[in-house]
Amino acid sequence: MPTQRQRRKRRKRLTSGEGRSSASVPPVTSAAARRRGGESPPARRGADDRPSAPWGTFPLSEIVVLVGLVLLIAGFFVAPPQGFVMIAVGLGLGSLAGLELSIREHYAGYRSHTLVLSAAVGVPIFGALFVATKLSPAICLAAGLVAFAGAAWLFTGAFRRRSGGALYRLKR
């Protein structure tokens, strides 16, 4: 299915000597820009123009990953009860830092992280049902898959709106 950008009719460019002068040519704006009050649509991001973090230039995600790695490695050298907790917390911190970056890039329309974000919804639902209830593992798995599929549908729609109609965006 063609995107809005592909459906839009392209105007033929006039050379400097043809037709109207450049001063009398009205600016071309999209229908969405006219509805917003004449604003131009957001510029497309470049290959290295990642969305900025809400906390500015402070390297919070990198620090969280570093703390998670230190806890993960140290957990292998500590006695079992505390070591297991350190390993779990290290894995959790690393996962949260990666999830934060995925959310930021997805909702900025930079790259689609639909599968990662959908798994972040479906896997905990499966795990909670499996551990906390006496349901059959097949029912727990089915509930996790339904949650995964519903979240994937919602995240795909959100990325399409933010990226200007793209279903996914690969590395450039």
Backbone φ and ψ for 56, nearest 5 degrees, come out as: 85, -140
**Domain parsing of the chain, residue ranges:** 60-107, 113-165
Tell me what pLDDT residue 167 has. Answer: 85
Question: In b/e form, how buried is each residue of 48-81, taking b as 16+ CB within 10 angstroms?
Answer: eeeeeeeeeeeeebeebbeebeebbeebeeeeee
Low-confidence residues of the chain: pLDDT under 70: 1-48, 172
Tokens of 166: 């793209």
CA distance 114 to 120: 10
Question: For position 165, what pLDDT does the model report?
Answer: 87
Instruction: Provide the pLDDT for residue 150.
Output: 98
Q: How far apart are CA 52 and CA 10, in angstroms?
A: 33
> What is the structure's pLDDT at 168?
83
* Dihedral pair phi/psi, residue 53, rounded to 5°: -75, 155
C-alpha closest to that of 165 among 42, 54, 29: 42
Q: Count how many Cα atoms sit within 13 Å of the Cα of residue 97 in the half-sphere of its side chain.
A: 16
Measured between alpha carbons, how far is 160 from 171 in angstroms, rounded to an integer? Answer: 17
Nearest to 151 by CA among 104, 94, 106: 106
